Structure 1
Amino acid sequence: MASSSSDGSIDPVEHAPEPKNSVCVIFSSDSGEEKIGKFTVDPDLYRDTYGMVFEGTFRKLGSEKDEKAMMRLFSPENIFCYKSEARALRILNDCTCVPKLLAKGCTLGCKGDIPGGLVIIKTLCPGQRFGLEFWCQFTRLNGTEKPWVAVKEAFGEVLDFGVEVNTIIPDSVLWHEESGKAYLLDFDDWSSAKYNIARWGREGCLIDMLCTLTGNRGLLNHKKLIKGKK
């Protein structure tokens, strides 16, 4: 299992133990008729958010190449979240700070290790996850700390594609120090940014997303200033 370091970060998957080679066959639907590929996963490498998120490799049907990927598993009761994330990833296909959608469908499970359910397969982004104690230290909207600047750029790019993410937990954000980029991973709760951008401007929407990540309500004071200028 990925380990936590003293600064609260989680070691990336390349530092984790060798996978146990648990394989999930991915189908286009729950009928189990049309196979679209297979996902090889370590059951110990997952994040328990709105859906379980596993890391491993994905091989499309007919391909001889394994691609590093993550698989997000949704229960049938969370079909709305599943559809929401798939739609967002299609909209954000050309966005540089989010994973690419590789496949979506259903798995019947894996020898009892991984339950069956709806799945979204997306590319594995580089970087580390940090807890709330890391992100809440950024209290100034115009702060110039590298992770903070990277997150503002990533969130801004997502907004430019018309997507405003309503729920952002620290576990859904990666900071990659080597490239200076941040990545936003999960999109089960989002809405069109068009209305709020018209009302608050891009900066106002960006503040909302940053506040959601950090829990720093003080950032909203900047939004009040924006409203006062209108």
Structure 2
Amino acid sequence: MHTVQQAAGAHASAGREPVLETENLVKVYGRGESRFDALKGVTLQIQAGESVAIVGKSGSGKSTLMHLLALLDRPSAGVVAMDGRPVQDVSPAEVARLRNETFGFVFQQFFLNPAQTVLENTVLPLKISGVPRAERRERGMAVLERLELADKAGNKATDLSGGQKQRVCIARALVNRPTVLFADEPTGNLDSATSAAVEDILFGLHRDEGITLVVVTHDDDLAARCDRRLVMQDGMIVDETTTAGAQA
């Protein structure tokens, strides 16, 4: 991955190591007349502890890029690496384990199971990992307490407001103690006041715990809070801005 490392040496020189990187990343859907080139050779690094916003119009490739970075999909060509190790060198079972243990996910659609309680929704990643029930409950309640939702632990997900549902999603994303948090339009379904509260939670985690934050968003205010802003168009990164705060 020397080419990738050289391409983003300015960020690496700040003393942080890349937790995720890509080199000449290509993603193609379909073939023939229905072929769509979603990504056209994207090379980037995301440093440990950095916050990065990926912005662009619908169809620009931003969600495709996030899915590949998060190991939710495989590229048509090019390399995705975690901590310098190309993912194609890792078995599918190991990729699934790494994804569950390393990443947390917050989406615009909440993807909560309405038949389960808030606590049951929160601890789902731990259940998948085989964590014993008592430990699941302890860790789940701890993260709900942190997000001021402990009193809702026994409620069904359908009983919650939009802002509360998104906080449950953040709790679920945090329960496995991830090092990277992916947020895909995390405030897209929320009113402005609730959006601001959710943003404060995400950036508080980034600031206080050093969680790497990767945000896909149309929201300029949300993107402006990140250390770095990548603008995508037609499957390529066409602009990059580093905020003054990222230099601190």
Q: TM-score, normalised by structure 1?
A: 0.26
| TM-score, length-scaled by structure 2 | 0.25
